[in-house]
Structure 1
Amino acid sequence: MAAAPAAPSDDGAYARGARILSLGIASTGVFTFAYFAVASHTLSPSEYGAVAFLWSVLFVVMSVIYRPVEQLLSRTLATSRALGGEAASLRTPLIIQGSFALLFLVVALAFKGPLEDRLESETLFWIFVGAALAYAASYFARGYFAGHQWFALYGGLVLFESIARILFPVAVAVGIASGQTAVALGILAAPFASLLVVPAALVRYRRREAAGELPTAPAAAPAGRGELREGADFALSVAMVQLAEQTLLNVAVLTVAASAGNALAGVVFNAFMIARAPLQLFQSIQTSLLPHLAGLEATEGREAFARAIRVTVLAITGFAAAITLGLLVLGPFAMDLLFDEAYDYGRLGLAAVGVGMGFHLVAGTLNQAALARGRARLAAGAWLLGAAVFVVWMVVPVIDDQLVRAETGYLAAAALLCALLTAVYRGGTPTRPAA
């Protein structure tokens, strides 16, 4: 006999979980920002640009091939728990994650020469490959934690990762180590350091489960071909979403690097840190939002579903307005203080990135609603269109100043994306995802 459906998480439990996760990821955003700020002071512009390029490509890889499985695992576990049915099988996410990691390795080795030439270092190439493979395990753990709403563990994992990463440029800054390789090794060490949290965390929770402090999950049913096909479809749709999102964040850096070199690419990268840092902060909200919404959708909690979206969008609007105002007043001064770049950042351009960041965050929230309602394909289409518009804008030299072109294009593309996902959210009949 199937168990009775579990009651959806109440707003208080969701809010507490989001707050716990926010503390971990907020600190992570600060440490990530600090990593590049310290690196910019310890490396030459060309060396810093290469490290920034390495991180940009790695972040694209992580987001496109690993984040989908994190989201799949999170949604599947949350839906299963909400319905009170059999425990979700991990076989499908494991197969997909392993396949993505193997595909990455094959492609990376095939393009070893061009990547080494672009990074100007064989060592940086192997750092890139090693870090990308290690993140496969790290992102799987994130999805498992999120699906069970173990947000404190999730926050601890990403916090431990970011602390390990920043230790390397700090070591260079104080004279313990030296050179570009020492700074870049922090990117490789970070995912391995994060995995040190996983065994202890799982042992602790298994002990609590054995003691009866946690509900014991029924045995999982074997994953069939239909489940694998559905999981792969969801993961591929989310992969397209992640590819488009990383295009929005990184295509400006990549196109500028190709046409003007690493130094100017580093300048553009710094400007887009205005968007990256808050996006990393609000990743905590999005991470906790998907399992929460999936549970509500599975148990017909429509009013609570809409309320969660509304509250999140209002919070984002206030946050983005405050950031944009701060950029108008102190933006150029702050950039000069934080980054060792002899470049005159315009306050209006920085404010444009701030407004675009607000649209981007709202789009991310609406995207989680679409995933919870089984509209992953529609969401993917919206993201791909928004990203394509930005790519065309960056390639066509409508504005000669490449930084200004990137700033204004990002604002326009993010606004378009937000409008498209609003239409996805408001239209059609929700399709309940299978557990």
Structure 2
Amino acid sequence: MTATSVRAGGPVGALTVAGGLLVLGASSFLVLGMAGHALEPGAYSAVASLYLLVAIVGPGAFSAVEQETNREASGLRAAGNRDEPVVRAGLLAALRLAALVGGLAVAAGPLVVPRMLGGSWALLGCLLLAVAGSAGLAAVRGVLAARDRRSWYGLSLAVEGGSRIAGCGAVAAIGATHPAAFGLAFAAGAGVAFLVCLPGLRSPTHDGPAAGVDVGAMTRSAGLLALGSAVTFVLANAAPLVLVARLTDRPELAASYVSLFVLARTPLFVFAPVQSFLLPGLTTAAEHGDTEAFGRRLRHLLVAICAAGVVGTAGAAVVGPWAARVLMGAPLDLPATAAAFLGLGTAGMLAAQLLQPALVATGAHRAATGAWIVGGCVFGALLALPLDPVAGAVAAQVVGPVVVGVAMLLALRSTRRSRAGRRSV
């Protein structure tokens, strides 16, 4: 297979992305479902904690690299320039950020390993492997999305999810009961996808002069955005980690709620790639000063997210507890009200993740990061309150995203007014 044989191709490219999203989304609960049925509650909680930590420090941090690489490449293409320099710059920025994230993970090991990873340092090694793979894959996906190579992008999603499912399926088939076996099979998925999809970066699809890219500036922008992106995934995934740490004497309850959290959050894992295909259009509209097209596109997407949120909240209430018990092997029956609130929180996260690329397209990286930090502070405060651990975790997952969304809407309104004012002068 060559880079020119796998292209964006109208329906073919769109179907490939949809299929890749389906496989990646299915892997979110199939992997933990296999682990839940194969491991005792304490070991399962450790594997589930690894899964959630990977979501925070993997795509959580490196979705910023994907968005910044996408924005740089889209900006060059909108100006009529070639985008090859972005490939090297994006990989270098990802490498620098991976070194920082990996160092922080190792430094936090004495706290994280005994309280969240069941005392398994091997699982921390799996986390570092996932960080490395996620970094490279993010840079690759950013360029693929900017070039509209949807077939390659969809392939990256399918390979990441499919390799995780196949690896964990093999581990379950041989009867392995050590959590690190499942952890390694899961953590390797991003690295496998990175290697498979590297050929997709060959043969750029845009003619014009080559323009230089400031790697340092790109790294700083990606780092600033990564702080906000990391808080994004903290809001999405930290509550069950806190439950695992606080309910060490009740592993069955912790394991059951982790299963429900993961099921409710599945849409977030498949929505991150959608952000990448929003950025080129929004960036082009922002570069050309087409505020009408920018606003229209954003309004339509927000309406769609709200409609999906209503359906998702109702669906979580109806099938969430059943799915946690049957598909994920949850030891306990869980209330439908908790599932409904988690579904509502997911809808809020989707809206915030939609607003973030709009701010990035206008260059408002600081505003995006600030919104996530404010929401993260509210989220942390609710988790720290002397409430029942489950009630506090559910409340934090609902209120935190709402605060982020409101802050982003206000920042976007201010940014658009400021840009309109500069153009009228």
TM normalised by structure 1 equals: 0.85
Report what 1:156 is aligned to: 155
| Residue 252 (str. 1) matches residue 232 (str. 2) | no
Report what 1:31 is aligned to: 27
Residue 250 (structure 1) shift:
2.3
Distance 2:75 2:337 in 1: 44
| Residue 374 (str. 1) matches residue 373 (str. 2) | no
Relative to structure 1, the CA distance from residue 431 to residue 21 in structure 2 (aligned partners, 3 Å threshold; closer, same or farther) is farther
Distance 1:238 1:62 in 2: 14
Report what 1:102 is aligned to: 99
Alignment of 1:343-422 (within 5 A): 343-398=332-387, 400=388, 402-422=389-409
| Residue 179 (str. 1) matches residue 156 (str. 2) | no
Equivalenced residue count is: 407
The amino acid that maps onto 1:131 is: A
2:58 aligned to which of 59, 62, 70: 62
Report what 1:123 is aligned to: 122
Structure 2 residue runs of 5 or longer lacking an equivalent are 1-7, 421-425
Report SS of the residue matched to 1:196. helix
Give CA deviations for 1:160-181 in whole Å, capped at 9, x if unaligned. 0111111233224333655323
Relative to structure 1, the CA distance from residue 232 to residue 321 in structure 2 (aligned partners, 3 Å threshold; closer, same or farther) is same
Distance 2:106 2:392 in 1: 34
| Residue 22 (str. 1) matches residue 18 (str. 2) | yes
Residue 265 (structure 1) shift:
3.6
* Cα RMSD (Å): 2.6
1:324 aligned to which of 313, 337, 355: 313
The amino acid that maps onto 2:245 is: A
The amino acid that maps onto 1:413 is: G
Report what 2:79 is aligned to: 83
Relative to structure 1, the CA distance from residue 387 to residue 267 in structure 2 (aligned partners, 3 Å threshold; closer, same or farther) is farther
Relative to structure 1, the CA distance from residue 414 to residue 346 in structure 2 (aligned partners, 3 Å threshold; closer, same or farther) is same
Give CA deviations for 1:327-366 in whole Å, capped at 9, x if unaligned. 3333322322222122221111111111111121111111
Distance 2:101 2:348 in 1: 31
TM normalised by structure 2 equals: 0.87
| Residue 338 (str. 1) matches residue 338 (str. 2) | no
Distance 1:94 1:330 in 2: 41
Relative to structure 1, the CA distance from residue 172 to residue 64 in structure 2 (aligned partners, 3 Å threshold; closer, same or farther) is closer
Report what 1:46 is aligned to: 42
For the 8 Å contact 2:378–2:400, the answer to whether it is kept is yes
Relative to structure 1, the CA distance from residue 416 to residue 199 in structure 2 (aligned partners, 3 Å threshold; closer, same or farther) is closer
| Residue 425 (str. 1) matches residue 412 (str. 2) | yes
Give CA deviations for 1:46-102 in whole Å, capped at 9, x if unaligned. 111111111222221113442221111000101111121353633543432222122
Relative to structure 1, the CA distance from residue 406 to residue 298 in structure 2 (aligned partners, 3 Å threshold; closer, same or farther) is same
Relative to structure 1, the CA distance from residue 411 to residue 105 in structure 2 (aligned partners, 3 Å threshold; closer, same or farther) is closer
Residue 392 (structure 1) shift:
0.7
Residue 279 (structure 1) shift:
0.9
For the 8 Å contact 1:76–1:88, the answer to whether it is kept is no
Residue 103 (structure 1) shift:
2.0
Distance 1:220 1:377 in 2: 25
For the 8 Å contact 2:385–2:392, the answer to whether it is kept is no
Relative to structure 1, the CA distance from residue 426 to residue 20 in structure 2 (aligned partners, 3 Å threshold; closer, same or farther) is farther
Relative to structure 1, the CA distance from residue 64 to residue 324 in structure 2 (aligned partners, 3 Å threshold; closer, same or farther) is closer
Relative to structure 1, the CA distance from residue 83 to residue 18 in structure 2 (aligned partners, 3 Å threshold; closer, same or farther) is farther
Give CA deviations for 1:259-280 in whole Å, capped at 9, x if unaligned. 2125544333222224421112
| Residue 315 (str. 1) matches residue 304 (str. 2) | yes
Report what 2:3 is aligned to: none
Q: Mean Cα displacement is larger for which, 59-68 or 341-350? A: 59-68
Residue 115 (structure 1) shift:
4.2
